[in-house]
């Protein structure tokens, strides 16, 4: 990945999050405290601000640093989880990653999020998007990016009928059912943007 591509990618993800901040806020108002849109917007705007500088570094280092920025600037429960994902993913990347390297790094990052959140898929969190995407990365064949994008968006939708077991939404018990998980939606947006950008 060239510095220009990496810079463009980081900016594209931030743009998507900014464009969807109100939607994420509304989702978090329904089953949380309403700060997820602002949390994510703040964090990814910081990453976009660093994009030019980060993109000059080796890929692993750039991704790890972006994760540190997210930990420091997103806040809430999601900040440390997103940060953990990117820091672990970055540290696991070799200099010129091929698909199996990406899948392996993704495995490590998902496991780190599970440990950090003391959570697993099925609990109406971002892991409900990360885990199906992780599985798609192991399915070889055509149209990987398109498949991953669809998987991520569908997986976020599929959190709507779930009952939350982790995070603030779990305080609502049964009343968390019927709303899409804010973290699942933001995670799907990040992944879908990444796929669109790399395909373009
Ligand atoms: P907060 O809940 O502190 O207000 P945010 O609103 O930014 O933080 O993020 C909420 C999202 O974080 C949830 O929708 C969920 O996806 C994710 N989340 C919260 N707690 C956990 C956890 N223990 N494990 C995994 N994900 C979690
Ligand atoms: Mg919140």
Q: Which residues are found with C-beta within 5 Å of the ion, ligand 2?
A: 28, 32-33, 35-36
- Using CA atoms, how far residue 88 sits from 7, 14, 18, 20, 160, in Å, is 20, 20, 24, 26, 28
Ligand 1 center from residue 76 Cα (angstroms): 7
CATH number at residue 116: 1.25.40.340
- CA–centroid distance, residue 1 to ligand 1 (Å): 31
Structure token digits, residue 187? 């995670």
For CA atoms 112, 115, 116, 120, give the dihedral sign: positive
Q: 110-159, pLDDT tens digit by residue?
A: 999 999 999 999 999 999 999 999 999 999 888 999 999 999 999 999 99
**Ligand 1: which of 167, 189, 191 to mutate, most ligand atoms within 8 Å of CB?**
167
Nearest alpha carbon, ligand 1 atom 19: 167
- 183 CA closest ligand 1 atom index: 16
**d(CA 179, ligand 2 centre) in Å:** 14
Pick the residue whose CA is nearest to atom 24 on ligand 1. Answer: 117
Give the per-residue pLDDT at 57. 97
Contact 64, 93 (CB under 8 A): no
Question: What's the domain count of the chain?
Answer: 1
Ligand 1 proximity of 126 Cβ (cutoff 6 Å): yes
Alpha helices in the chain (DSSP H): 3-19, 21-31, 36-54, 59-73, 78-92, 99-117, 127-136, 144-157, 182-199
Q: Tell me the CA–centroid distance for residue 60 and ligand 2, in Å.
A: 29
- Whether 164 shows a pLDDT value over 90: the answer reads yes
pLDDT tens figures, 44-59: 999 999 999 999 999 9
Residue pLDDT, tens place only, 72-84: 999 999 999 999 9
Domain holding 121, by residue range, is: 3-199
Check residue 141 and give its pLDDT.
85
32 touches ligand 1 (CB under 6 Å): yes
Q: Looking at the CA of 77, which ligand is closest?
A: 1
Q: Which atom of ligand 1 is nearest to the CA of 74?
A: 7
Please give the pLDDT value at position 140.
Answer: 81
pLDDT of residue 1 exceeding 90: no
């Amino acid at each position: 990945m060239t510095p220009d591509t990496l810079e463009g990618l980081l900016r594209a993800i931030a743009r998507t999050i900014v464009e969807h901040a109100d939607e994420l806020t509304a989702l978090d108002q329904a089953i949380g405290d309403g700060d997820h849109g602002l949390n994510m917007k703040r964090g990814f705007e910081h990453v976009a601000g660093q994009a030019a500088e980060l993109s000059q570094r080796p890929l692993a280092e750039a991704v790890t640093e972006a994760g540190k920025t997210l930990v420091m600037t997103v806040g809430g429960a999601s900040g440390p989880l997103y940060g953990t994902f990117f820091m672990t993913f970055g540290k696991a990347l070799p200099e010129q990653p091929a698909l199996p390297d990406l899948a392996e790094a993704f495995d490590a990052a998902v496991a780190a999020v599970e440990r950090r959140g003391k959570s697993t898929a099925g609990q109406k969190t971002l892991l409900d998007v990360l885990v199906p995407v992780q599985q798609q990365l192991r399915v070889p064949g055509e149209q990987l990016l398109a498949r991953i994008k669809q998987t991520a968006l569908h997986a976020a939708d599929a959190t709507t009928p779930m009952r939350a077991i982790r995070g603030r939404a779990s305080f609502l018990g049964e009343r968390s059912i019927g709303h899409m998980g804010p973290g699942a939606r933001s995670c799907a947006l990040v992944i879908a943007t990444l796929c669109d950008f790399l395909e373009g």
